[in-house]
Amino acid sequence: MPLEEFWLFNGPMVALTPDLVEQAEVAAIRLAEAIPQAVFANPEYQKAAQASQLRQHESFVRIIGAASVAIPVEQAREKAPEWFRELSDGSDQGSGAFLDQAAGTVGLRSDPLTGMFFMPDVEGFLDLRRACLPGSGPSSRVKSAQRQLLGELRDSDVPAGSFRLAGEVEGSLVSEALVSALPRAGFDRHDQGEELLHRSKPHDFAAPPVPRTVPFSPRLVARRQQMNK
């Protein structure tokens, strides 16, 4: 499929009439967002995306106050529009709609390569770690919480980013919970946390990380803005 001046995939050509240009542009955007590796096969596009995402990360840290935070959702809603306006050159497009259904305390984490990670119920995630600690309740409840924690380590639907964010917000709590749940003494989050995530969630690390920001041509940027309205 041709996208502006470059190609994403080889395959049979399909002639599109002018009245189908909007559908073609929408399909190209969705395809690029769903399979960014196809775009990043061109090293110049990957380089541009990395530079753009680094700027986004620096803006996030300046506006939010840290690379990883757990803050009341009301505070996140106040800060998110400023961050999105800066990313979109003053436009209000995409000003934190992902926070609309959140409540309580939310987690936000920015990485210069993989972009922003959002956790809608960080307190619930941390409460499970507290329940894993001996003495936090009846032994049957502690063991149940420990089994749930180990299940989350193996669950492909629970991303590694959740563990990273929780560890950066409440490092000692997460480390103590894992010590209690895992049959290995002396677990240290900083030395062994990444090793554990790689071993427990190989699907998250099956391919080299690519920027979450996907570069588009000016024409597709304009179409993307129309899709966000």
Alpha-carbon distances of 158 from 119, 120, 197, rounded to whole Å:
11, 13, 11
Host domain of residue 21: 2-41+215-228
pTM: 0.68
As a whole number of angstroms, the distance between CA 13 and CA 202 comes to 37
Q: Judge if 37 and 60 occupy the same domain.
A: no
Same domain assignment for residues 129 and 76:
no
Tokens of 27: 């399909």
In this predicted structure, what is the pLDDT of residue 90? Answer: 42
- Using the 3D structure, point to which of 85, 119, 153 is the last residue of a domain: 119
pLDDT of 193-213, one tens digit each?
A: 788 888 888 888 877 777 777
Of the residues 80, 101, 119, the one at which a domain ends:
119
pLDDT at residue 135 above 70? yes
